[in-house]
Amino acid sequence: MTVTELLRSKGFRITALRTELLTLLQRSDRALTQAEVEQQLRVDVDRATVFRALNAFEEAGLAHRVLDGSGTSCFAACAGDCDEGHHKDAHAHFHCRKCGSVFCLPSVELPKVKVPRGFRMEQSQLELQGTCKACT
Amino acid sequence: MTVTELLRSKGFRITALRTELLTLLQRSDRALTQAEVEQQLRVDVDRATVFRALNAFEEAGLAHRVLDGSGTSCFAACAGDCDEGHHKDAHAHFHCRKCGSVFCLPSVELPKVKVPRGFRMEQSQLELQGTCKACT
DNA sequence: AGCATTATTGCAACTCAATTGCCTTTACTC
DNA sequence: GAGTAAAGGCAATTGAGTTGCAATAATGCT
């Protein structure tokens, strides 16, 4: 599916920003913060606009959100089969301590865990920290 | 080891705040945000002071930091065998979606994962989301 | 193509946690 | 008890995240 088709299939309108934004996320091999997104976008947009677009993408299942080590949100395009509000990207994320980048590791699967009696688990994330390929 | 001995063993001075703070963290069954810590402390202290104390504890291996779902830091006392800068608390954390609490789950062990060639893993966290015992 | 409808955007203001500089206070050492 | 360095208080700042509202533009319909 093209970016345009993807956007349309979720009921979004086709605007310069949203097209560029989704393309950018798809082409990146790592998750980007909003600040990074703003720098890399060719179009000149307001922070609030990017903010709302990213949130809309997440809710629609076009992108998923990861918290980097310091608590800032990073976004990456979803593999493809995510639904509204339900992300099935069951993979780990790697945070580089040197450059701060967040990588998606589709090869690392999430473990099945048992939570204590009374708790009901709905989702899980596996976060790894270390040094990335480029920084080694 | 008593709280005082613990503090002294890490080279800290014995102050009212730091004693109370470490005691509070040890007695809590869940990780606390700085705001929660400030509310629960009997002594009246500045935010910056609590901030520095928590960071110092983390660096010294007395407490570990967990990010709650929204990016805020939570702190919990370490089990005991953590070193300066190297936390060995290999357990998962549970974030309740209703009350926002963060629980340590010592019973859930972290999986051994293989990272791609070129990456060097140093640490990992397993974060679970759902509904906690009290909120069910 | 023209028009109405409604999503999207820009602007501005605001929240809140996190953070820092600087000066004062105080716990610890000798 | 005096000196020293850590710890604390105060004030100001950063930066991400949010929101309301009015202006703009994409889409559907005729």
CATH class of B3-130: mainly alpha
Say whether pLDDT at B36 is over 70.
yes
Return the amino acid letter for B99.
C
Phi/psi zone of residue B62: left (φ > 0), alpha (ψ -120 to 50 degrees), beta? alpha
- On the question of pLDDT at A130 being above 80, the answer is yes
Q: Is the pLDDT of residue A75 over 90?
A: yes
Q: Taking CB atoms and an 8 Å cutoff, what residues of chain B touch A136? A: 118-120
Q: Rounded distance, CA B110 to CA B74, Å?
A: 19
Average pLDDT over residues B43-58: 96
pLDDT greater at residue A46 or residue B70? A46
**Dist CA B65 CA B106 (whole Å):** 15
- What's the whole-number average pLDDT of chain B? 90
Residue A80: pLDDT above 80? no
Band of pLDDT at residue B87, cut at 50, 70 and 90: low
Interval B116-125: pLDDT, tens: 999 999 888 8
Report the 10 Å Cβ neighbour count for A69. 16
Q: Predicted confidence band at B88 (pLDDT cuts at 50, 70, 90)?
A: low
DSSP chain A: --HHHHHHHTT----HHHHHHHHHHHH-SEEEEHHHHHHH-SS---HHHHHHHHHHHHHHTSEEEEE-TTS-EEEEE--S--BTTB----EEEEEETTT--EEEEEEEEPPP--PPTT-EEEEEEEEEEEE-TTT-
pLDDT at B90: 73
Nearest chain B residue (CA) to A126: B126
Give percent above pLDDT 70 in chain B: 93
C-alpha to C-alpha distance for B46 and B38, rounded to whole angstroms: 9
Collect all residues of chain A within an 8 Å Cβ-Cβ radius of residue B130.
115, 119-123
**Spacing of B48 CA from C23 C1' in Å:** 15
Task: Give the mutation candidate from B120, B131, B135, B136 for the A interface (greatest A CB count, under 10 A).
Answer: B120
Residue spans per domain, chain A? 3-130
Give the Cα separation of B15 and B7 in Å (integer): 10
A97/A103 Cα distance (integer angstroms): 12
How big is the CA angle at A119 (ends A111 and B28), to the nearest 5 degrees?
A: 100
Residue type, A95: H
**pLDDT the model gives residue B89:** 67
Average pLDDT, chain A: 90
- Residue range B14-19: mean pLDDT, rounded: 97
DSSP calls for B62-119: SEEEEE-TTS-EEEEE--S--BTTB----EEEEEETTT--EEEEEEEEPPP--PPTT-
CA distance A80 to chain B (A): 22
Footprint of strand C on the protein (CB under 7 A): A 11-13, 15-18, 44-49, 52-53, 56, 70-71; B 8, 13-16, 33-35, 47-48, 51-52, 55, 72-73
A82 has a pLDDT exceeding 80: no
Model confidence pLDDT, tens digit, residues A87-117? 666 788 999 988 889 999 988 888 888 899 9
Beta bridge partners of A76: A64
Q: Which of A111, A93, A109 is nearest to B119 (CA)?
A: A93
∠ CA A45-A47-A52, nearest 5°, is: 100
pLDDT for residue A78: 86
Q: How high is the pLDDT of residue A68?
A: 87
